[in-house]
Structure 1
Amino acid sequence: MAIAEITDKLLAAKKAKGVTFADLESAVGRDEVWIASVIYRQASASEEEAKKIVTALGLGPEYAEPLMECPLKGSLDQTIPTDPLIYRFYEIMQVYGMPIKAVVHEKFGDGIMSAIDFTLDVEKEEDPKGDRVKIVMSGKFLPYKKW
């Protein structure tokens, strides 16, 4: 996957300052996953949000402008991802996608879960057998219209 030049610069500044996405959440007042999606150019920020992000990263105001542009969303390569963490999500959808779809349709009817009216949280669950990643997705149900 090709990373946008602005993303490379923002991530380099984030690393150089030792700033976490959680730190950016505190500085911006938005969820850390949403902020990461702005940095990876999958979401756009308001002028105020963009300025807060670049200020927290110690960058000049010229870095805010690209964060306010409408991004090309879902711009991953069409090939199966090879990064192990991203691949696991691909694998989860291969194995559980149809079962999840069946359960959603059973509970809600014919429709989809919005990725626009949507939140996603990443949580760490302490476990003596090895810490666990907990991902909570919440999207508005959108029924298909009949016409």
Structure 2
Amino acid sequence: MTPIMSKSDAADLVVAARVRKGLTWAQIAEELGAPVVWATAALLGQHPMTPEQAGTVCGLLDLDDAVAESLRRQPTRSTDPAVMNDPTIYRFVEALSVYGPALKELIHEEFGDGIMSAINFKVDITRRPDPDGDRVVITFDGKFLDYRW
């Protein structure tokens, strides 16, 4: 019996094949018919894919059934210390450390007692030209879930 490929090993193979094939994440997402941020996160191991999606990606990238099987599995989501050392990811943590309490207060003031869902959730990234250097615009769009007592 062959051991199950880890999601991180599958992600490494996906990244290598994407680079080798000269494809962008956006091109792969378009082939999947999925939003680019979701598709990228799924291919990096953070979401399970349907058998059809996994098959499409593996066909596009010439990857085998072991990768497809891994892409279909549920992830274990955690904060990997190695990932947290990446400067880009650390800046997101830093931004939420600084602005998280203020955003929480503003959500409560505007919506009442509750939270923004990270399950019923959309995320998008765009580039906005600016004379002082292009800007990264990230949109979190989560359903408000009120606390019910």
Q: Is the 8 A contact 2:29 2:40 kept in 1?
A: no
TM-score (norm 2): 0.89
Q: Is the 8 A contact 1:19 1:57 kept in 2?
A: no
Stretches of structure 2 that go unaligned for 5 or more consecutive residues are: 1-6
Q: Which residue of 2 aligns with 1:54?
A: 58
Q: Is the 8 A contact 2:122 2:142 kept in 1?
A: yes
1:37 to 28, 36, 41: 41
Q: Which residue of 1 aligns with 2:122?
A: 119
Q: Is the 8 A contact 2:45 2:71 kept in 1?
A: yes
* Letter matched to residue 56 of structure 1: L
Report deviation, 1:83.
1.3
Report deviation, 1:82.
2.1
Report deviation, 1:126.
1.4
Q: Which residue of 1 aligns with 2:27?
A: 23
2:86 to 67, 83, 87: 83
1:6 to 10, 28, 31: 10
For the aligned residue pairs, the C-alpha RMSD in angstroms reads 1.7
Higher relative contact order structure (alpha carbons within 8 Å, sequence separation ≥ 6):
2
1:70-110: CA deviation from partner (whole Å, max 9, x where unpaired): 1112x223589221111111111111000000000111111
Q: Is the 8 A contact 1:109 1:143 kept in 2?
A: yes
- Range 46-55 or range 58-67, more displaced: 58-67
Q: Which residue of 1 aligns with 2:139?
A: 136
Q: Which residue of 1 aligns with 2:102?
A: 99
Report deviation, 1:60.
2.9
Stretches of structure 1 that go unaligned for 5 or more consecutive residues are: none
Which consecutive segments of 4 or more residues in structure 1 shift more than 4 A? none
Percent of pairs identical after alignment? Answer: 40
Q: Is the 8 A contact 2:121 2:140 kept in 1?
A: yes
Report deviation, 1:39.
1.4
